[in-house]
C-alpha cells in the first residue's frame, strides 16, 4: 500500500486591520476556517484580527520548502508582499 504525501502550501492572508500574515498548511480550507475562528486552532496573531481573507498561496515541494518560503515571505516589506499579491492577481487575469 502506498501512502500519499501531504501537499504543503504557503499562504498570505489579509487581516481586518489590513496587516498581512504568512503561514503554511497541508489543508488551506481548514486553516482559513481556523484563522477565522470557525474551527479551533487558529494562530494567535489572527485571533484578534478576524475576519481574514486569503490573498495568495503557493504549493511547495515539502514541509521544509514551505517553512523556508514562509520565512522569506515574513522578511519581505509590506510593500513587497502587496507587490507579490498584485503580480499573482495579474497572472490569474491573463
Rounded to the nearest 5 degrees, what angle is found at the Cα of 37, between the Cα atoms of 34 and 85?
Answer: 60
Tens digits of residue pLDDT in 23-82: 999 999 999 999 999 999 989 999 999 999 999 999 999 999 999 999 999 999 999 999
Cell of 67: 517553512
Q: Please state the pTM of the whole predicted model.
A: 0.88
Are the C-beta atoms of residues 37 and 67 closer than 8 Å to each other? no
Give the class (CATH, top level) of 8-93: alpha beta
The answer to whether the CB of 10 falls within 8 A of the CB of 57 is: yes
Amino acid at each position: 500500500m502506498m501512502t500519499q504525501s501531504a501537499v504543503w502550501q504557503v499562504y498570505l492572508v489579509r487581516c481586518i486591520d489590513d496587516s498581512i500574515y504568512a503561514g503554511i498548511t497541508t489543508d488551506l480550507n481548514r486553516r482559513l476556517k481556523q484563522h477565522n475562528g470557525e474551527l479551533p486552532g487558529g494562530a494567535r496573531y489572527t485571533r484578534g484580527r478576524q475576519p481574514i481573507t486569503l490573498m495568495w498561496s503557493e504549493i511547495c515541494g515539502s514541509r521544509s520548502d514551505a517553512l523556508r518560503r514562509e520565512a522569506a515571505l515574513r522578511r519581505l516589506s509590506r510593500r513587497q508582499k502587496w507587490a507579490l499579491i498584485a503580480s499573482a492577481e495579474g497572472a490569474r487575469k491573463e
